[in-house]
Chain A
Amino acid sequence: KAGVTQTPRYLIKTRGQQVTLSCSPISGHRSVSWYQQTPGQGLQFLFEYFSETQRNKGNFPGRFSGRQFSNSRSEMNVSTLELGDSALYLCASSLAGDLYNEQFFGPGTRLTVL
């Protein structure tokens, strides 16, 4: 079974631009979560989608948004990029809608904002 895939793997953008990251969950998984990973901050939760609905949201500004499609694939968008948005963005999928299930993580997208 293929794992969680994320595209692109690396991105370089400049301040003020916007970016869209993509995540394909494991086949059959309906929950997709997004995290921002930075040194010293660990993983910070952005949002979680289940069956195309945003079910949980972290404490990030409105510049960060996401969506999920009917095939469970998810996209995350960051508008008006800031230098502090440079990070590894991780996507994780899980089988069902409850929080007892293990989350399977993708390799991440490394975003650099210049």
Chain B
Amino acid sequence: AQSVSQHNHHVILSEAASLELGCNYSYGGTVNLFWYVQYPGQHLQLLLKYFSGDPLVKGIKGFEAEFIKSKFSFNLRKPSVQWSDTAEYFCAVMNQFYFGTGTSLTVIP
């Protein structure tokens, strides 16, 4: 079945640590890939998106993601996290409206 997998359910990091959240999808066609973030008490909002072109995309707040077609992956990265990055992160394949189950990130000051 087509799906989006986020293998890390809960991640706890100290401030200034590097972050990488995994996202793998199973869909054979062209994909429109998104990362959304949900800060505590706030709406889901877009971090970044990929349709085509440069596989390394940059989003808001210093986040970036790399599309690796051969690995069906779209991992989210940030070189140095801040306490304010504490949130839940969702990967999505939007041409099929598939969202992953989310990764809860806690950053310890």
Contact = CB atoms under 8 A, between A and B. Distances in A.
Given A42-B90, A90-B44, A105-B44, A33 B97 contact: yes
B44 A45 contact: no
B44 A100 contact: no
Interface string B75-94: 00000000000000010101
A3 B99 contact: no
Contacts of A4: 43
Contact of B101 (A40, A102, A106): A40
Nearest to B93: A99
Interface in A30-81: 33, 35, 40-45, 48, 56, 58
Contacts of B100: 42
Interface residues of B, number: 20
A48 B97 contact: yes
Given A43-B90, A44-B99, A107 B43 contact: yes
Contact of A42 (B45, B51, B95, B102): B102
Nearest to B102: A42
Contacts of B102: 42-43
Counting chain A CB atoms within 10 Å of each CB, which of B43, B46, B98, B102 scores highest?
B43
A35 B99 contact: yes
A27 interface: no
B99 A105 contact: no
Interface in B38-63: 43-46, 49, 51
A42 B97 contact: no
Interface of B: 6, 32, 34, 36, 43-46, 49, 51, 90, 92, 94-95, 97-102
